Amino acid sequence: MTVWGEKGSSFGTSAYGGVGWVPRQLSHANEFGKQWASYRIDSEWRKLKAVIVHTPGSELAEDLDLEKSLMLEPLDSAKSREEHEAMCEAYRAQGVEVHHVSPVGKTTPNQMFCADLFVMTSQGAIIARPAGEVRAGEERLIARRLADIGVPILKTLTGSATFEGADLMWLDERTAMIGRGHRTNQEAIDQITSVLKEIGCETITVDMPFGTMHFMGMLRIVDKDLAVCWPRRTPLATVRALEARGIEVIFPPYEDNTQSYRAMNFVTLGPRRVMMVAGLRKYQAFFEDHDVECFTVGTDELSKAAGSVGCLTGVLARETAT
């Protein structure tokens, strides 16, 4: 029999570990669907369940400084918004939950590129730190929204690290490949490697060619045994790592930089099912020849901002292996 302190003393109460104290029973990973929302991923190809986006508005003003804002051409804000809303409806038609960042206050022109602002893991999100000065602070808005919907934050990058989520791809449940280049530096890779090690995952780093933007533009995985890579630009180590995992690598036909980049800028909806840019007949035929079902959305206006379906979509959740 345990004898506690004198009557009136706090010693022995539940607050101090005494009678009534109930210790937390579950591990962090086992609290998904309970304390945390059940949003997580461990692949690039399993069924897509939830995404997060930002529909652009007045931030795409006619007087936008294109170079400062990292845009290619002036955008019509009304057309951009219409295209983005149509993309959201296309996701809903596929049974995908669509969450919006819903920022309060001034929004930057690039806020709509949600794929850059975080990356999901099997146990929560890693918040990015965009490399361009014009995008500084966008990560704060995505972090707030992720927290609101119940996504745990595993890591917020610090120091001089720069990282954008479109530079990390999951090769399998325990291996992430990160592209080191224009947007993601070694300091960020070191921090990400450390936090992924804590959850039992490893990283492989590859260097990207000068003049390219994101690793997403070089690698898209559409099934457990099929990946699409950009011809003559995808790092050798990427192709070899895919082949070592029994993944067939296919290379779409080359049209020109603009069309080829848009063709790679798709989102995998599930095994051999993708959401891609409309109007790319040669590429769509190529995908369909490899038994990939294609759903298309128009992004002619949004593409003027140097991004498309993949860049616009922050992947929150897929079906997982366990």
**Per-residue pLDDT, 4:** 63
User: What are the pLDDT digits (tens) for 75-113?
Assistant: 888 999 999 999 999 999 999 999 999 998 888 899 999
Position 1 pLDDT exceeds 70: no
148: exposed, middle or buried (Cβ count in 10 Å: 0-12, 13-18, 19+): exposed
Query: How confident is the model over 225-277, as pLDDT tens digits?
Result: 999 999 989 999 999 999 999 999 999 998 777 788 899 999 999 999 999 99
Is residue 157 within 8 A of residue 131, CB to CB? The reply is: no
3-state secondary structure of 91: helix
At residue 259, φ and ψ (nearest 5 deg) are -70, -40
The structure's pTM equals: 0.94
CA distance 82 to 92: 15
132 touches 92 (CB < 8 A): no
pLDDT in tens, 107-130: 889 999 999 999 999 999 999 999
Q: What is the CATH number of domain 36-318?
A: 3.75.10.10
Q: Please report the pLDDT score of residue 276 as a whole number.
A: 98
64 has pLDDT over 80: no
Handedness of CA 10, 11, 16, 19 (dihedral sign): negative
pLDDT at 5: 63
What's the confidence (pLDDT) of residue 58?
Answer: 83
